[in-house]
Amino acid sequence: MKCGRAFFLVFLCILVACQTAPGQPPQKPAPSGTTRRKITIAWIPKGLNNPVFEVGRSGAIAKAAELSAAGPVDVEVLYAGSVDSDGSEQARVIDDTVAKGVNGIAISCDDPTACIDPINRAFNAGIPVMTWDADSPLSKRFTFMGLDNIKAGHAGANMLVQAMGTSGKVAILTGVPGADNLEERIRGFKEGLANYPNIQVIATVVTNDDINLGVQAVEDTMQAHPDIKGWYFAGMWPLFADRGSMPLWEDAALHRGMKTIAFDALPVELELLRDGYLSGLLDQKNWFWGYEAVQILYDHIVNQKTYPYFVDLGYNIITKNNVDAMLQAWDTNDFTKPLPPP
């Protein structure tokens, strides 16, 4: 029985340890003999379960290193988040970073309402908070930096029309039904197609943010509508699967002139674009989620700079004309160089 209790205690310890995965802030030792001021910025994604946030984290760390090397203040990034995207878990993470005494918080809100109270608690504790990617507009955050998803949806529609022409059947792929940013992307896309009455949106299929379900949804739709002329992927879920996973989609893309526009610009998508499977990508600048957020918080904390209600981060349009430059940015982990026109 003692053995059982010990087992249970170990089990509980591991369970608790697995709930939150704190990031590893880069440590920069202060030069000997000098005392430099240090600020810690908590950079909190919706969840640790999406690789695009890893890209943003990399940008945050790059900016922190840049600022530390150039200025009088050492900047440390604390990457913290819950494993799954969950509003209540994220509230706990915000409270934890406040308790830790960080100097600023940059957060992508899992739920706009669930974020209000913890953000306001941080504000009342004297910690400035900004939101990025996903906002909590009714909270006391001082600015929101992100993408205008409706505008990006319009751009997606224009890109698809340019690629496939002004008539034919198109389908939409989305993630978890009801997610604000995805619904806005779809709304923008449909608004963008409103001027083209001969284009028919014949299906909107969901992936629940799952690669396998994404692959199945695309293939089932291709099976049901073999004459489909265009796809609009509001995210990149099925594109993570290797070549050969979506034979119908791949065949239509390579041999039957079907066009696909997708969000994000991860290396796997860039390779698909370069090889003719995709016609264009809408890069929502994931790396700058971290890079610009750290700069904004630094300027706000150190230089008392103020920011407007919304900072439009914009998006890059990636086509065959600038895909190589984007691939090079990935190779060098430097996304600051301007891309050639699409």
120 or 216: CB nearest another protein: 216
CB-CB contact of 125 with 63 (8 Å): no
The Cα 79–Cα 82 span in angstroms is: 10
Tell me which residue of 291, 294, 258, 292 sits closest to 277, measured CA to CA: 258
Q: Which of residues 97-156 bind another protein (CB under 8 A)?
A: none
Pull the structure tokens for residue 316. Answer: 């890059």
Q: What are phi and psi of 291, to 5 degrees?
A: -60, -50
- Check residue 212 for interaction with another protein (CB under 8 A): yes
- Kindly tell me which of 177 and 276 has the beta carbon lying closer to another protein: 177
Among 40, 41, 43, 50, binds another protein (CB under 8 A): 50
Instruction: Give the C-alpha separation, 77 to 80, whole Å.
Output: 9
User: Applying CB under 8 A, which of residues 150, 211, 301, 325 lies at the interface with another protein?
Assistant: 211
Query: Strands across the sheet with 168-174, in order?
Result: 199-206, 168-174, 230-233, 259-263, 280-283, 316-318
CB of 167 to another protein, least distance (A): 20
Kindly tell me which of 15 and 194 has the beta carbon lying closer to another protein: 15
**Residue range at the interface with another protein (CB under 8 A); choices 26-34, 115-123, 216-224, 287-295:** 216-224
Shortest Å, Cβ 73 to another protein: 29
CB 293 within 8 A of CB 60: yes
x/- mask, another protein, residues 234-263, rule CB under 8 A, reads ------xxxxxx--x---------------
Q: Is 52 helix (H, G, I), strand (E, B) or coil?
A: helix
The correct pick among 53, 142, 189, 298 for binding another protein (CB under 8 A) is 53
First to last CA, the chain: 68
B/e letters for 120-138, b = 16+ CB within 10 Å, e = fewer, are bbbbeeebbbbbbbbbbee
Query: Binding segment for another protein among 44-52, 138-146, 253-261, 318-326 (CB under 8 A)?
Result: 44-52
Closer residue to another protein (CB): 179 or 311 = 179
Instruction: Using CB under 8 A, list all residues that contact another protein.
Output: 4, 7-8, 11, 14-15, 17-19, 21, 48-51, 53-54, 83-84, 177, 202-206, 208-212, 215-217, 219-221, 223-224, 226, 240-245, 248, 268
